[in-house]
């Protein structure tokens, strides 16, 4: 092991910089060279890289985003993409690659392993917390705390104006942010992609709450939630290179229905990318740091095709394929706890 590459792909999230810093620091101790690949898989297609040293990662621990840049590039959807990735991997003289990403980035990593680049190690990230084989991904805790703080703020204004406020949070396939921020922020209803929205049931819950004397309510909805009889609410129908549409707008649609059925004034707040930005929480800094150090240890031991993961409080490694096969959706036992506080 002489030279390791690192890339960050997919949606950014707080905690990526702590991983990069940890990888560089650990590589320095081991005497390995470290190359940063710019903008996810795009950097390996274009051969866009930067040499990383102690100075390049100095001071980045508390910063959100990623100093390497990111993109939603899928080499399998680019003309000659796979060949270019292989060519540049060779040209850069990489002995191993650490790919930091979610289902899409790690899905590509998993395919590349079969297609001639076996020396890859995965590090799981996503604010959605929906990757299997790890209890937590870094980025989630920061997003959760941001969303909770926003719900707290929306509570006081909803209460003063006697309104219902619908808070739309991120969560494409899984409602982890909605469920946990909803519990932490005392939401009166939480709607997630895992369960269809029954508008009549929601309005009945809201009416019951208002008949009890409450004059305001907070409804948290994940962007990927759908009406019982409907489909996703979209901002953009066009698919990205991983086949995803751009979600957003369920909050508006829901608020209109609630106001129409109940007659209560209903407003919407879409938290959007606020949840992905900002300084990582201590939890995400520590998790990112642990993942980064472990990833270099795996490279040292030539444990390729593996992904670092959190199991309880231990950082372990699992088969990369395990993580990208199926998504980790919300634990229904947790959702049942949230439901105790509905209405
Ligand atoms: O994957 C994380 C995520 O934040 C999802 O919750 C959301 O649907 C998506 O990324 C938005 O991605 P983009 O910023 O590329 O539109």
Task: For the chain, 343 residues long, give each residue's pLDDT as a single digit of tens.
Answer: 899 999 999 999 999 999 999 999 999 999 999 999 999 999 999 999 999 999 999 999 999 999 999 999 999 999 999 999 999 999 999 999 999 999 999 999 999 999 999 999 999 999 999 999 999 999 999 999 999 999 999 999 999 999 999 999 999 999 999 999 999 999 999 999 999 999 999 999 999 999 999 999 999 999 999 999 877 777 777 899 999 999 999 999 999 999 999 999 999 999 999 999 999 999 999 999 999 999 999 999 999 999 999 999 999 999 999 999 899 999 999 999 999 999 9
Pocket flag, ligand 1, residue 9 (CB < 6 Å)? no
Alpha helices in the chain (DSSP H): 16-30, 41-46, 81-91, 103-114, 140-161, 176-184, 199-211, 250-262, 282-300, 320-325, 332-339
Please give the distance, rounded to the nearest whole angstrom, from the Cα atom of residue 30 to the centre of ligand 1. 35
Q: What residues contact residue 312 under an 8 Å CB cut-off, 6+ apart?
A: 135
Please give the distance, rounded to the nearest whole angstrom, from the Cα atom of residue 205 to the centre of ligand 1. 30
Pocket flag, ligand 1, residue 125 (CB < 6 Å)? no
Pocket flag, ligand 1, residue 170 (CB < 6 Å)? yes
Distance CA 21, CA 55 (A): 10
Pocket flag, ligand 1, residue 102 (CB < 6 Å)? yes
Q: Which residue among the candidates 104, 128, 188, 317 is catalytic per the annotation?
A: 128
In the residue annotation, 128 being an active-site residue is answered as yes
Q: Which atom, in ligand 1's list, is nearest to the CA of 170?
A: 6
Please give the distance, rounded to the nearest whole angstrom, from the Cα atom of residue 73 to the centre of ligand 1. 14
Please give the distance, rounded to the nearest whole angstrom, from the Cα atom of residue 173 to the centre of ligand 1. 10
Pocket flag, ligand 1, residue 247 (CB < 6 Å)? yes
Domain parsing of the chain, residue ranges: 3-139+280-325, 143-277
Do the first three CATH levels of 3-139+280-325 and 143-277 match, i.e. the same topology?
A: yes
User: Superfamily assignment of 143-277 in CATH?
Assistant: Phosphofructokinase domain (3.40.50.460)
| CATH class of residue range 3-139+280-325 | alpha beta
């Amino acid at each position: 092991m002489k030279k390791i590459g690192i890339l960050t792909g997919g949606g950014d999230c707080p905690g990526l910089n702590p991983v990069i810093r940890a990888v560089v620091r650990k590589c320095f101790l081991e005497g390995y060279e470290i190359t940063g690949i710019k903008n996810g898989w795009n950097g390996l297609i274009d051969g866009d890289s930067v040499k990383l040293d102690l100075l390049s990662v100095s001071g980045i621990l508390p910063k959100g985003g990623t100093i390497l840049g990111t993109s939603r590039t899928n080499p399998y959807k680019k003309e000659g993409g796979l060949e270019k990735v292989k060519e540049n991997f060779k040209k850069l003289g990489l002995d191993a690659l650490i790919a930091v990403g979610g289902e899409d980035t790690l899905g590509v990593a998993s395919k590349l392993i079969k297609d001639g680049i076996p020396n890859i190690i995965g590090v799981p990230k996503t604010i959605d917390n929906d990757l299997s084989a790890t209890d937590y991904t870094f980025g989630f805790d920061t997003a959760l705390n941001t969303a909770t703080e926003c719900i707290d703020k929306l509570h006081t204004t909803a209460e003063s104006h006697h309104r219902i406020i619908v808070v739309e949070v991120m969560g494409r396939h899984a409602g982890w942010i909605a469920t946990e921020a909803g519990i932490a922020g005392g939401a009166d209803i939480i709607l997630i992609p895992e369960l269809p929205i029954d508008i009549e049931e929601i309005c009945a819950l809201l009416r019951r709450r208002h008949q009890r004397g409450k004059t305001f309510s907070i409804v948290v909805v994940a962007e990927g939630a759908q009406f019982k009889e409907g489909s996703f609410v979209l901002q953009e129908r066009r698919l990205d290179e991983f086949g995803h549409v751009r979600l957003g707008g369920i909050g508006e649609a829901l608020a209109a229905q609630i106001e129409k059925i109940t007659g209560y004034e209903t407003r919407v707040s879409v938290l959007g990318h606020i949840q992905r930005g900002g300084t990582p929480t201590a939890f995400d800094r520590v998790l990112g740091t642990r993942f980064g150090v472990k990833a270099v240890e795996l490279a040292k031991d030539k444990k390729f095709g593996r992904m670092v993961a959190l199991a309880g409080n231990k950082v372990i490694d699992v088969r990369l394929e395990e993580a990208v096969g199926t998504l980790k959706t919300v634990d229904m036992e947790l959702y049942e706890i949230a439901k105790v506080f509905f209405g």
